[in-house]
Amino acid sequence: MKKLIRKILKEEVGNKINYNPTVIFIAGCSSEGECGKKYKYSHEEQGNMLQSALGSNFNVITLSHVTSPLSEIKKHNNPYVVMFSAGGNHSNSVANEIKNTEKDLNKIYIAEPYTCGSKTLTKVNSAITTIGNNNNVYGGKTDCTGKNVAGKIDSKSTHWSALTTVGKDIKSTWERGIEKKQIDKIMGSIEDSDTHRYSDTLHPNNIKEDLEYWSVSNASPDSDEYEMGITEDIPIYKDHNLGKEMYGRLRKAFPMTPEYILKDFFYNNIVNEFETIEKEFYGDPLLFTRGYWGEFLKGPWKLEILNVNPLDFDDKTINAFLERDFGNVDSYQVPNDEERTQTQRNIAKGDGTNEPIIVERKPNGKYELIEGWHRTMSILLLGDNGEDLKNWDKVKIRAFVRDLSKLPK
């Protein structure tokens, strides 16, 4: 019977995977010529190759190898990190950061690093020592593409195709891990539950409904999606995988909220409040988000390219810009403020290609900045024309916009 259950679960789980892991990608030398000559692809195009191999379940954040990736890594709970070609120069610092913050070293991938140079070779070997193996180090035809350090060598394909190989390997490994965790979790519920005895009543339709609603087995598939998981205000889901269950519940409650917005809210407002939510809100994140945050998540949201200078923001935001001197002063004790500011200044372009910021557009047309302060201040500085902010040139900034003028009155 258990073999049959596992077979059904494998089919159903394989069709419904909702979690979107982050992949921080450190690109190699590009068409921008930062390595002394122009190569075939830009950093963004390299990131797109990796994204294509990974598929839509993954969120790829592309960085240049010119600047340190550590501040970006620190923003994320347990990301994959892929270092390609010249990006391998960061391998040692990345491995040490992942180890020191007790994240998963097996999520580090080094693809065809430039290890015919002694400097990068030393860094990659140090990273391998920290990681404990070279299983996720990919090599090409020569030592200049990592052949002398690799655990996996492809001497037939092109240098750029390593991005496709790595992406497919990450995707396959991740899907197998997610599938196993979900199946084991459901099987545990089958064996242990006194109130939800799937062992007596299990059939494919029940499992399918359950997974489609929650991707967990310990909630009734017959309940309404906004009520699921609560019986008389007492949560019926179990303690294990609490973060995943909370995120799944938010995802169902706010189906029109962009994934980027919901993840940002989750990591900044929910992750550090698990204990509070469990004790004071019955383990239900929806009770925790009642009021402003619940309305905030509903939107309406639209991804736009804003054409702005500092005076296009509201007084509250402008005052914060001035107090922080657009990133020169850490007025609010922001973690790693100087490093994060420098990173954003190094990549600021003002052409709307930035990682999105999050703003609310007030009925008077002014913007309140919610998230993305380092990015915003760095890009606005590109238009600096003196002390009078009204003289600053407008720059383009990509943003998720919640338009308050469109809310029902």
**Residues pairing with 396 in the sheet:** 307, 351
Cα distance between residue 346 and residue 351, in whole Å = 14
List CB contacts of 403: < 8 A, sequence separation 6 or more: 300, 302, 360, 361
Task: Look at residue 215 and tell me whether its pLDDT is greater than 50.
Answer: no
Work out the pLDDT band at 233, boundaries 50, 70, 90.
Answer: very low
Report which of residues 3 and 102 the model is more confident about: 102
Cα distance between residue 69 and residue 81, in whole Å = 10
Work out the pLDDT band at 268, boundaries 50, 70, 90.
Answer: confident
Q: What is the mean pLDDT of residues 208-217?
A: 36
Residue 176 CA neighbour count, 13 Å, CB half: 6
Contact 89, 32 (CB under 8 A): no
Residue 281 CA, distance from chain mean position: 26
Report which of residues 214 and 392 the model is more confident about: 392
- Least confident window among 39-48, 77-86, 210-219, 340-349: 210-219
Q: What is the mean pLDDT of residues 155-174?
A: 88
Q: What are phi and psi of 292, to 5 degrees?
A: -60, -50
b/e 380-400 (16+ beta carbons within 10 angstroms → b):
bbebeeeeebeebeebbbbbb
Q: What is the C-alpha R_g of the chain?
A: 24
Task: Look at residue 227 and tell me whether its pLDDT is greater than 70.
Answer: no
Query: Which tokens in the block code for residue 67?
Result: 């600047």
- Using CB atoms within 10 Å of the CB of residue 140, give its burial: 0 to 12 exposed, 13 to 18 middle, 19+ buried: buried
List CB contacts of 203: < 8 A, sequence separation 6 or more: none
Contact 45, 27 (CB under 8 A): no
pLDDT digits (tens, 9 = 90+) for 16-40: 444 678 999 999 998 888 888 888 8
Q: What is the mean pLDDT of residues 332-358?
A: 90
pLDDT score for 239: 42
pLDDT score for 347: 94
Q: In degrees, to the nearest 5, what angle opens at C-alpha 124 toward C-alphas 123 and 130?
A: 90
Report which of residues 6 and 257 the model is more confident about: 257
pLDDT score for 79: 92
Q: What is the mean pLDDT of residues 154-172?
A: 89
One-letter amino acid at 381 equals L
pLDDT digits (tens, 9 = 90+) for 373-397: 999 999 999 999 988 999 999 999 9
Q: What is the mean pLDDT of residues 322-331?
A: 88
pLDDT digits (tens, 9 = 90+) for 109-147: 999 999 988 888 999 999 999 999 999 999 998 989 999
Task: Look at residue 240 and tell me whether its pLDDT is greater than 90.
Answer: no
Cα distance between residue 409 and residue 405, in whole Å = 9
Contact 152, 138 (CB under 8 A): yes
pLDDT score for 305: 93
With 0.75 as the threshold, say if the pTM is over it: no
pLDDT above 70 coverage of the chain, percent: 79
pLDDT score for 180: 52
- Least confident window among 68-77, 185-194, 315-324: 185-194
One-letter amino acid at 402 equals R
Report which of residues 329 and 181 the model is more confident about: 329
Helix (H) or strand (E) holding 164: helix 161-192
pLDDT score for 70: 93
pLDDT score for 203: 38
One-letter amino acid at 323 equals E
Cα distance between residue 303 and residue 403, in whole Å = 11
Q: What are phi and psi of 408, to 5 degrees?
A: -65, 140
pLDDT score for 192: 43
Cα distance between residue 128 and residue 120, in whole Å = 12
Cα distance between residue 17 and residue 54, in whole Å = 14
pLDDT score for 63: 95
DSSP one-letter code for 55: -
pLDDT digits (tens, 9 = 90+) for 287-320: 888 888 899 999 899 999 999 999 999 999 999 9
pLDDT above 90 coverage of the chain, percent: 48
Report which of residues 183 and 19 the model is more confident about: 19
Measured over the CA atoms of residue 124, residue 125, residue 128 and residue 133, the dihedral's sign is positive
Task: Look at residue 322 and tell me whether its pLDDT is greater than 70.
Answer: yes
List CB contacts of 320: < 8 A, sequence separation 6 or more: 369, 373
Q: What is the mean pLDDT of residues 150-157?
A: 83
Task: Look at residue 206 and tell me whether its pLDDT is greater than 60.
Answer: no
pLDDT score for 162: 92
